[in-house]
Structure 1
Amino acid sequence: MRIPSNAHVAIVDGKNFTVMRNGGAPLEPKLDRAEQPDLSATNYSAGVRHQDNIGREKGTSTQLDELAHAAAVSEWLNSQCVSGDIADLLVIADPKTLGEMRHHYHSELEKRLVGEIAKTMTGQPTDKIEQAIASA
């Protein structure tokens, strides 16, 4: 995958969120850690979509917490894109988190989105993340 120089890379799962920047060439990403934003997961709107018999029987608090985290990440990324702090964005997230994040994307974020990778990469070494981007 081609990723512009200085593009932000959001690496997300149901509990973790890291933002890195591409300091390398578009076809040879070299990621540097930018920040690990502190988020408050307060948007539990996904719970409306996930009310089913199995969820009520087994309890969905963990799932709702993960989905609320995905919403919080999207809201943070939206604010950064709207303010102009993020010009280009690549999102790497596990499929469930990525699906929830898409429900919350602002149109400005969508304009700046250079790609998405539906894969769990949180906790992986930087070189593995760079390989996943290069091979996507």
Structure 2
Amino acid sequence: MLLPHGTVFAIVDGEKFELYRNTGMESEPQLTALNAPALEATNYSAAANNHDKISRFQSGAPKDRLDKMEEAAHVTAVAQWLNGQVLDRQIDKLVVVADPKSLGQMRRHYHKELENVLMAEVSKNLAGRPPQEIIKVLHS
């Protein structure tokens, strides 16, 4: 996968949100960490709707259900923040890397404009991994 200069990478899981920008060349990417905003996960309604569908098939302790709702609310907040950045023209090329569950939740909240700048989605959990490992996975 070619990674143009200036591409923003959102690395997401149910708890973490990391941002990088390719400051290198397309052929030799160099991921530079950006300050990710401290997002407040407040959209529990979307998480609750998703949770209701899940809970019919899974039983779990209330704490486990709350954790799942918090994770869904977190990734929803990330998607909404990314939407805002795209609409404000702060991001014009985006790659989203997230674990499969988080990626599925985020897709429900993508704005059409975000979909237009989305270069790729990678369904892997790479949160907390070094930038070189992220690049290696994207090139494989």
TM range (shorter): over 0.9
**Distance in structure 1 (CA, Å) of the matches to 2:95 and 2:41:** 22
The aligned amino acid for 2:35 is E
The aligned amino acid for 1:82 is L
Q: How far apart are 1:94 and its partner, in Å?
A: 0.5
Aligned with 1:109 (options 102, 107, 114): 114
Mark the CA change 1:57 to 1:34 in structure 2 (over 3 Å): closer, same or farther. Answer: closer
Task: Check the 8 A contact 1:28/1:134 in 2, yes or no.
Answer: no
Task: Check the 8 A contact 2:51/2:68 in 1, yes or no.
Answer: no
Q: Secondary structure at the match of 1:69?
A: helix
Q: How far apart are 1:74 and its partner, in Å?
A: 0.3
**Distance in structure 1 (CA, Å) of the matches to 2:130 and 2:50:** 34
**Distance in structure 2 (CA, Å) of the matches to 1:62 and 1:95:** 17
Mark the CA change 1:82 to 1:125 in structure 2 (over 3 Å): closer, same or farther. Answer: same
The runs of 5 or more residues in structure 1 that have no matched partner are none
**Distance in structure 1 (CA, Å) of the matches to 2:60 and 2:4:** 46
Q: Secondary structure at the match of 1:111?
A: helix
Q: How does 1:1-136 map to 2 (within 5 A)?
A: 1-44=1-44, 45-51=46-52, 52-53=55-56, 55=58, 57-59=60-62, 60-135=65-140
Q: How far apart are 1:48 and its partner, in Å?
A: 1.1
Task: Check the 8 A contact 1:27/1:134 in 2, yes or no.
Answer: no
The aligned amino acid for 1:113 is L
Q: How far apart are 1:126 and its partner, in Å?
A: 1.4
The aligned amino acid for 2:78 is V
**Distance in structure 2 (CA, Å) of the matches to 1:43 and 1:55:** 22
Q: How far apart are 1:73 and its partner, in Å?
A: 0.1
Count of matched residue pairs: 135
Task: Check the 8 A contact 2:95/2:121 in 1, yes or no.
Answer: yes
TM-score (norm 1): 0.93
The runs of 5 or more residues in structure 2 that have no matched partner are none
**Distance in structure 2 (CA, Å) of the matches to 1:40 and 1:55:** 27
Q: Secondary structure at the match of 2:120?
A: strand
CA-based RMSD: 1.3
Identity of aligned residues (%): 41
